[in-house]
Amino acid sequence: MGEDDALGDSTARKLKYWGWGYEGEGLDVAETRSLLTTFAEGFGIVPSDDGRMPALEEIELPAPRLAWPAALAGICTNDRYERVLHAFGQSQPDSIRICMGDFTRAPDVVAYPENEADIAALYDWCGDAGAALVPYGGGSSVVGGVTGDVGNGFNGTVTVDLGRMNKVLEIDDVSRAARIQGGARGPELEAQLKPSGLTLRHFPQSFEHSTLGGWIATRSGGHFATLYTHIDDLVESVTMVAPSGKMTSRRLPGSGAGPSPDRFMIGSEGAMGIITESWVRLQGRPVFKATAGFRFADFLSAAAAVRAVSQAGLFPANVRIVDGVELQVNGAGDGSFSLMVVSFESSDHPVDAWMARAEQCCLDHGGVIDVDWRDNPRANLEGAVGAWRTAFIRMPYCREELTPRGIISDTFESAITWNRFEEFYHAIREATGAAIRKATGREGAVSCRFSHAYPDGPAPYFAFHGQGRKDGLLEQWKEIKNAASDAVISEGGTITHHHAVGRDHQKWYERQRPEIFGKVLAEAKGCLDPKGILNPGVIVSS
Amino acid sequence: MGEDDALGDSTARKLKYWGWGYEGEGLDVAETRSLLTTFAEGFGIVPSDDGRMPALEEIELPAPRLAWPAALAGICTNDRYERVLHAFGQSQPDSIRICMGDFTRAPDVVAYPENEADIAALYDWCGDAGAALVPYGGGSSVVGGVTGDVGNGFNGTVTVDLGRMNKVLEIDDVSRAARIQGGARGPELEAQLKPSGLTLRHFPQSFEHSTLGGWIATRSGGHFATLYTHIDDLVESVTMVAPSGKMTSRRLPGSGAGPSPDRFMIGSEGAMGIITESWVRLQGRPVFKATAGFRFADFLSAAAAVRAVSQAGLFPANVRIVDGVELQVNGAGDGSFSLMVVSFESSDHPVDAWMARAEQCCLDHGGVIDVDWRDNPRANLEGAVGAWRTAFIRMPYCREELTPRGIISDTFESAITWNRFEEFYHAIREATGAAIRKATGREGAVSCRFSHAYPDGPAPYFAFHGQGRKDGLLEQWKEIKNAASDAVISEGGTITHHHAVGRDHQKWYERQRPEIFGKVLAEAKGCLDPKGILNPGVIVSS
């Protein structure tokens, strides 16, 4: 077969291999200018203007090393675009390597299984061929979870895209649950649920280009900031196909029967098997909503308000704070204040009593109303709240503009108990800021927001920005990322709250997790994936 | 050393080896008479009156087969009372065997470790001696989790009672969490937390005689019926000591870093290691409370009301229903109605808005107010609600009165999604009722209540009662239990919602859990407990 054996519909909208979303989508000229001006004027981070992402035909792609058996012809391809598209996820190092044209680790073959039998056949073939197999949902990994960096022990790499397994198979509107295939992207599954009046309402920032199976494999965190934030809590049962066989947990609202099989599959990141389907818990579409915004003079006062709301047992749909730097980067503030957003919603009852109490918690801690929730159904679109919301939605498109201009701009997130939060916050900001200075030779910017909050602690989400060198961007990024990750682990946080481990966090994950638990996972992998072909280097060291 | 080497304070209150609680506690004559009258008059179950529990000196106890090394002298005993006390848990088959004087499987030695080094030394000794080691918290297992039925592959059995490791080690009132040793019983840990104004508020029915480590090892369900019901959700981190070494998970409010190590240790039932301590999430003591009671003409209408409340996102502290038979058995009803109890509580805010909406859900489904919540702080003590509450507290004391009188009386619980609930309910009641008729040759009684409720399904809790034969009680019990368990599994439920697996449920647990997951757990046990000495026969088949 030639290199250009394409699969599927060539008239469908094409995903960008160099950034977020479909071809034709992205920041417009004015948005890009505004972003670059903010960096330059606000933080002295000046873009170089000589970079661009390579055109598809310019990319130097190694010859494919694998030939699929005839029986798999209908689901395998080595088409140039497909190999390039599946070579990377959406992290900044991925973006940098795309910009550099470094496609030496691109997959040899991309497969689109249509059912579990196809997956089993792919396992058999890869096992026999000595090939590594990288499961791929929406390709939104920002931690190297879908790259071909599988080490040198394999004769090739097959990336398995679950995109054809994207159906809602069954809806149970009595229990409010649905059986959904692992390859269903957010909009696909919500569109199929819509006629039932029910919704999963799991909205990670990657929603449009990430899949249910990917969410479960990576312990995705949704937009909702308290209570059922992680997909972990929305899973009723899971089916995972491993090289050794298939595992289906029983569909149950609750159980006390031994260690949870679901919680073993959740977070397994494609290293133990491929999640082919799951029963997930749904809810009614919200009818009652309220959003309020509060300004705080400083981030730590806002954090105290979040703690009060989180410990009050109110369970808002949203309770986030954003510091002055992050508001400034996103054109939603001048750097002089921090913002807190609180939302409640319900499909069942008015939420005024809930919101009134949460508001009091904010006022008690020095909050000043930015957007009032009373009789204001458009509160989420107004004031600093609305400005930050708009920026948040556009954020994934920034990377492809910044990387070619030599700007380092990335995020990482953690979680920490409240008693250690303040020290943690200062330590991470200082370590990251110092690393930017050391790596780039000049001042950068570090910002913080809370993406999620629990009664016992927040999930702080940091962003860092610096003016890099076009010819050393990857090394500079690594230097900063390493320093930040070292600080997160030594200060007691988790290396990831919802971005997953992937290859980029594996070293710190091994420091975080109990050593013997690492051995248990290695034994588990030996049992499920005896030839060690599944996503090598992720979760279990290869 | 002689058989009577006792440890500890001989003046302390002594636990009953034949039933629930301390010597001197139990049903009084009037309570017993009332219980027996209800069985006889309500259900035709007539007690025999020739039985009694054996006195300590009457029990035929095998000579101890193990001699501990000198270094362990301070923590080991083979005192007759200690061996008898630790021979069984609190199940009805345990009670029957005590009544029969069957102590052939009593532990040879009882050990009271004071720290993790003691536990490691016990592992070394048992490994060398070829002895099985049975971890023991409060001894409240109703599923054979602490019995010495370890098979014939061992030279003896050592029961390890964690009772000396019962301290609250640290309280973090900022994050609202505490580090507590695994051997702390409910009242002990709450007493130590009390000065902080915080509480774990995990109240299983066994609260008084069960431990934090036991709750975590068995995925205990608390009194609170929605949201944070299982101890699983209250655990921030766990320390488990296994023969291969120690595992401590990082203390985190949330994490997305690989499969959860906590969720692997939670539910491991002493087969993977001993849980020595845990950071658990606390809350403020409740200030605002409201309880309401509603009568329903039939149980399924009450179930519909529970579904409405559970899917409304209100998260009541309590939402339970009890059918007419169970109310009748407990002297809280005449069998003509089912009861629903709904409670809200908060340390932070009035709960009227929550309760008003829940009440509407009940009225919508045909509920009639039994106890009104408005301006009624004593609502939980009034009407059928109060009568059932009183009976609930006294329930554990009934067993020691019923077993010697040849009455079979036991409970089991499951969980099932709402769409299958009605069919499940009928099938379980029919299978259990038929098994009682077959085993005893006469009609018995089967009742149902909900112990917990989730948006996607309830946790139905069944009780069965029958008039047994003194000389065949154990076999009769087994016949009924087997039929009920078969029905639970074939109808799609879980073999246990919060009573754990133990030895009694292992066979059905193996049918419930994914087969390959069983292999994964066996590999994990091989890694943590290579000699297979820990609680043999539980979770991993020996």
Residue A463, both tokens: 């962003």
Interface test with B, best of A142, A171, A176, A220 (most B CBs within 10 A): A176
Instruction: Identify the pLDDT of residue B480.
Output: 98
Check A348 against B252: CB less than 8 A apart. no
Q: Please state, for a pLDDT cut of 70, what percent of chain B lies above it.
A: 98
- Closest residue in chain B to residue A508, using alpha carbons only: B257
Distance CA B157, CA B150 (A): 8
Instruction: Identify the pLDDT of residue B1.
Output: 39
**Alpha carbon of A74: minimum distance to chain B alpha carbons (Å):** 30
Residue A371, both tokens: 């957007």
Note whether B492 contacts A: Cβ–Cβ < 8 A: yes
Check B256 against A281: CB less than 8 A apart. no
Q: Phi and psi for A294 in degrees, rounded to 5?
A: -135, 140
Residues in chain A within 8 Å Cβ distance of B494: 250, 252, 254-257
Residues in chain B: 542
**Alpha carbon of A198: minimum distance to chain B alpha carbons (Å):** 12
pLDDT of B538 > 50? The answer is yes
Distance CA A203, CA A391 (A): 16
Check B496 against A230: CB less than 8 A apart. no
Which pLDDT band, with edges at 50, 70 and 90, does A3 fall under? Answer: very low
Residues in chain A within 8 Å Cβ distance of B210: none
Which pLDDT band, with edges at 50, 70 and 90, does A10 fall under? Answer: low
Instruction: Identify the pLDDT of residue A51.
Output: 84
- Closest residue in chain B to residue A451, using alpha carbons only: B254
Check A246 against B516: CB less than 8 A apart. yes
- A227-269 per-position pLDDT tens digit: 889 999 999 999 999 999 999 999 999 999 999 999 999 999 9
- A467-514 per-position pLDDT tens digit: 999 889 999 999 999 999 999 999 999 999 999 999 999 999 999 999
Interface test with A, best of B143, B268, B517 (most A CBs within 10 A): B517
Q: Are B204 and B137 in contact (CB under 8 A)?
A: no
- A352-368 per-position pLDDT tens digit: 999 999 999 999 999 99
- B162-216 per-position pLDDT tens digit: 999 999 999 999 999 999 999 999 999 999 999 999 999 999 999 999 999 999 9
Place of tokens 């494609």: A270
Distance CA B496, CA B417 (A): 14
pLDDT of B3 > 70? The answer is no
Residues in chain A within 8 Å Cβ distance of B512: 250, 257
- A208-227 per-position pLDDT tens digit: 999 999 999 999 999 888 88
- B489-525 per-position pLDDT tens digit: 999 999 999 999 999 999 999 999 999 999 999 999 9
pLDDT of B405 > 50? The answer is yes
Q: Are A273 and A326 in contact (CB under 8 A)?
A: no
| Residue of B247, B347, B524 with shortest CB distance to A524 | B524
DSSP letter at A46? P
Degrees (nearest 5) of the Cα angle B112, B118, B124? 115
Check A313 against B348: CB less than 8 A apart. yes
Check A257 against B494: CB less than 8 A apart. yes
Distance CA A421, CA B251 (A): 13
Check A527 against B516: CB less than 8 A apart. yes
User: Could you write out the DSSP letters of every residue in A503-534?
Assistant: TTSHHHHHHHS-HHHHHHHHHHHHHH-TT--B
Q: CB atoms < 10 A from the CB of B387, how many?
A: 17
**Alpha carbon of A95: minimum distance to chain B alpha carbons (Å):** 23
Which pLDDT band, with edges at 50, 70 and 90, does B4 fall under? Answer: very low
Which pLDDT band, with edges at 50, 70 and 90, does B225 fall under? Answer: confident
Q: Are B244 and B127 in contact (CB under 8 A)?
A: no
CA dihedral B364, B367, B369, B374 (to 10 degrees): -40
pTM above 0.90, yes or no: yes
B71-74 CB contacts, 8 Å cutoff, 24+ apart: B71/B121, B72/B111, B72/B118, B72/B121, B72/B122, B72/B125, B73/B1, B74/B7
Residue B353, both tokens: 């808005």
Residue B305, both tokens: 């009301």
The H helix count followed by the E strand count for chain A is 17, 18
Residues in chain A within 8 Å Cβ distance of B265: 259
Q: Which of A408, A413, A402 is closest to A505 using CA atoms?
A: A413
User: Could you write out the DSSP letters of every residue in A47-102?
Assistant: PP----PPPGGG---PPP-----GGGTTTEE--HHHHHHTS--SSHHHHHHHHHT-
Instruction: Identify the pLDDT of residue B241.
Output: 98
Instruction: Identify the pLDDT of residue A6.
Output: 55
Instruction: Identify the pLDDT of residue A416.
Output: 98
Domains of chain B, each with CATH number or no CATH: 59-285+505-542 (3.30.465.10), 288-396 (3.30.70.3450), 398-504 (3.30.300.330)
Name the region of B478 (left: φ>0; alpha: ψ -120 to 50; beta: rest).
alpha
For A147-252, strand residue ranges (E) read: 157-161, 168-172, 177-181, 198-199, 235-242, 245-248
Interface test with A, best of B220, B236, B520, B523 (most A CBs within 10 A): B520
The neighbouring-strand residues paired with B445 are B465
Residues in chain B within 8 Å Cβ distance of A284: 311
Residues in chain A within 8 Å Cβ distance of B353: 349, 352-354
Check A259 against B521: CB less than 8 A apart. yes
Instruction: Identify the pLDDT of residue A11.
Output: 66
**Alpha carbon of B174: minimum distance to chain A alpha carbons (Å):** 5
Residues in chain A within 8 Å Cβ distance of B349: 312-314, 353, 357
Note whether A251 contacts B: Cβ–Cβ < 8 A: yes
Note whether A243 contacts B: Cβ–Cβ < 8 A: no
Note whether A357 contacts B: Cβ–Cβ < 8 A: yes
Note whether A74 contacts B: Cβ–Cβ < 8 A: no
Note whether B500 contacts A: Cβ–Cβ < 8 A: yes
Residues in chain B within 8 Å Cβ distance of A175: 417-419, 456-457
Residues in chain B within 8 Å Cβ distance of A528: 516, 520
Query: What's the mean per-residue pLDDT of chain B?
Result: 96
User: Which residues of chain B from 415 to 444 reach within 8 Å of chain A, CB to CB?
Assistant: 415-419
Instruction: Identify the pLDDT of residue A2.
Output: 42
User: Which residues of chain A from 178 to 237 reach within 8 Å of chain B, CB to CB?
Assistant: 218-221, 229-230, 232, 236
* ipTM field: 0.96
Check A255 against B497: CB less than 8 A apart. yes
| Residue of B357, B509, B514 with shortest CB distance to A247 | B514
CB pairs under 8 A between A and B: 302
| Residue of A256, A513, A539 with shortest CB distance to B267 | A256
Q: CB atoms < 10 A from the CB of B253, how many?
A: 24
Question: Helix B473-490 and helix B92-100: axis angle, to 10°?
Answer: 170
DSSP letter at A40? I
